[in-house]
Structure 1
Amino acid sequence: MSAWAYDGTAMLGRQLRRLRNNPGLVVLTQTMPVTMLLFFGYVFGSALAMPGREYRSLLVPGLLVATAANGIMTGMFQAAQDTHRGVTDRFRTLPMSRAAVPLGQAVADLVVTAAGTVPFLLVGLAVGWRIEGSVPDAVDALALLLLFRFACTCAGIYLGLLTRSEEAAGQLGSATFMLPLLSNAYIPTDNLPGWLRTLAEWNPISAVTTALRDLFGNAPAPGGAAWPVAHPIAGSLVWCAALIAVFLPLAVRRYARGER
């Protein structure tokens, strides 16, 4: 095993133990998507023109992607917490790969996200959502979802390393809840004003949500004019590749340089 892989595995174990010692945070992050599914599915579903079950079929993929986008917030807060409590400085004194800490954090978050997706899907099935496509397509949808979570976590880690305090990271991270609202995760975008619809369709969340709806075989939202939504699988992969290519090297470089 190469040095960076060995170091990254050690950091992965450290992050998982850290989450084990903070069960309240784990419970909150895992139950919140289920709570939102029940709230949006029955409250919004009854207010929209489409029947409740049809809306829940539209909603489940959107909430999965919105939860994945929260990787920005969790990555930001954990990176800022380690930085401003001196943990990151101690890691820098060790003879280890500079990529190990950011990668360990991102992969640990991915493991927790994968585990938390299972109960969410079970609740989705209980409220009427169904996987109407093929099993291979459904597996591809989950793989794409985890790839997007990894990309968002990389962005969050870099932003967390930039912040000047844990409080600033928490405030900035909480603002990311607006991102799913400016997408097609909760409602179709066809009735939005022109400029707002364009903004929503170029939101990476819209491309990934549309891709998941297609792969799960659910009722798709009306097609959009923007290329990422018109070609959702290709658009999602491009967005994920771009986010990882930009933010992962930046996070590693920022960690290695130790600037504040």
Structure 2
Amino acid sequence: MTGTLHTSATPAPPKAATAVAGPVDLTVPGPGERRLYWTAVDCWNVIRRGLTHYRRQPVFAVWQLGFPIMSVLLYAYVFGGAMKSPGGGDYQDFLMPGMFVMTMAFGFMSTAMAVVNDITKGVVDRFRSMPMAPSAVVAGRGGNDLIVAVAELAILAATAVLTGWRTDGGFLATLAAFGLLLWLRFCLIWVGVWLGLLVPNPEAAGGLYAVVFPLTMISSIFVPPSSMPDWLGTVAAWNPISSTAAATRDLFGNPVASDGSWIQENALLMAAVWPLAITAVFLPLAVRRFQRLSR
């Protein structure tokens, strides 16, 4: 035969694994990234649902956003003439930062009422039946209330400026003061969520106002703690609301009432520390309470 068939030829060696695998597609998210993405989407849907209520039921928006305006006009013009500012000067300059703080403090009642209404109407049960992240319900409530708090502060600040209040602390100091106010509101959101998950019905949630009024009145919002009896002044000075009120007054360049005590001399520090401590306590409590509710 003229041709030869080689059947025993050595086969070619296999290619390296790296050559077969090809390039890695880095655009495909991993399981953790997908979970984080859908948690953020669920959180935004809860926020959007809360904001939609204000558009469909404007009476709630008028009340919640109109309350700051009514408070400024009431305290500044009805009671302002009978009050004296520490160290002299216009009482309104002393009052307005306290009004900002009071509005942020009262906001946790709206949070508690919204949460308990969602529970009694079965909205939370509907959320639990959906394929959504459980944490989105709590986080979405907090995000919604923080957006509303920004609107409340903007309206309150505009009303204060129209009535003659001014800030002399500079742009960055003023921005820091509003940041401390929102930081206080952020920590109180989790107090409101926890209380809303704790109380059995909206009627019981309405009774929480009995807690809010002493919390705001026994503070430096309206008068300096030094004007109170010694024991009550000490309680008022160590009230977290008083620290935020004193810190924002200092940042705004408004009159500050200080008796030389440590808590008042370090108001700026405590205005940052108090909300951090409150968040560290009540955020886990709110999440745990919601998890128990889901069982």
Q: TM-score, normalised by structure 2?
A: 0.83
Q: 1:3 and 2:51 equivalent?
A: no
Q: 1:13 and 2:27 equivalent?
A: no
Q: CA deviation at 1:259?
A: 6.8
2:46/2:140 contact within 8 Å kept? yes
Query: What is the aligned partner in structure 2 of residue 143 from structure 1?
Result: 179
2:226 counterpart SS class: coil
2:243/2:268 contact within 8 Å kept? yes
1:2 counterpart SS class: helix
Q: CA deviation at 1:116?
A: 2.2
From 81, 91, 97, the equivalent of 1:46 is 81
Query: What is the aligned partner in structure 1 of residue 293 from structure 2?
Result: 258
From 248, 255, 264, the equivalent of 1:219 is 255
Change (3 A) 1:174 1:96: farther
Deviations 1:111-137, CA, capped at 9 Å, x for gaps:
112112222112211222111001001
Q: 1:104 and 2:140 equivalent?
A: yes
2:219/2:241 contact within 8 Å kept? yes
Q: CA deviation at 1:222?
A: 2.5
Greater Cα offset, 60-69 or 176-185: 176-185
Query: What is the aligned partner in structure 2 of residue 131 from structure 1?
Result: 167
1:247 counterpart SS class: helix
Structure 1 unaligned blocks of 5 or more: none
Change (3 A) 1:193 1:174: closer
Greater Cα offset, 76-85 or 174-183: 174-183
2:101/2:181 contact within 8 Å kept? yes
Q: 1:36 and 2:71 equivalent?
A: yes
Query: What is the aligned partner in structure 2 of residue 190 from structure 1?
Result: 226
Structure 2 unaligned blocks of 5 or more: 1-35
Relative contact order, higher structure (CA 8 A, sep 6+): 1
Distance 1:120 1:86 in 2: 34
Q: CA deviation at 1:208?
A: 0.5
1:91 counterpart SS class: helix
Query: What is the aligned partner in structure 2 of residue 83 from structure 1?
Result: 119
Change (3 A) 1:45 1:16: same
1:207/1:235 contact within 8 Å kept? yes
1:76/1:173 contact within 8 Å kept? no
Distance 1:5 1:171 in 2: 34
1:132 counterpart SS class: coil
In the TM superposition, structure 1's runs of 4+ consecutive aligned residues that sit over 3 Å from their partners are 49-53
Q: CA deviation at 1:79?
A: 0.7
1:110/1:150 contact within 8 Å kept? yes
Q: CA deviation at 1:110?
A: 1.0
Distance 2:173 2:85 in 1: 25
Distance 2:97 2:54 in 1: 26
Distance 2:238 2:205 in 1: 25
Distance 2:127 2:155 in 1: 35
Q: Which amino acid aligns with 1:237?
A: A
CA RMSD across the alignment: 1.9
Query: What is the aligned partner in structure 2 of residue 230 from structure 1?
Result: 265
Q: Which amino acid aligns with 1:170?
A: G
Q: CA deviation at 1:23?
A: 1.3
Q: TM-score, normalised by structure 1?
A: 0.93
1:15/1:108 contact within 8 Å kept? yes
1:190 counterpart SS class: helix
**After superposition, where does 1:151-162 map in structure 2 within 5 Å?**
151-162=187-198
Change (3 A) 1:215 1:125: same
Distance 2:161 2:89 in 1: 11
Larger radius of gyration: 2
Equivalent pairs, count: 259
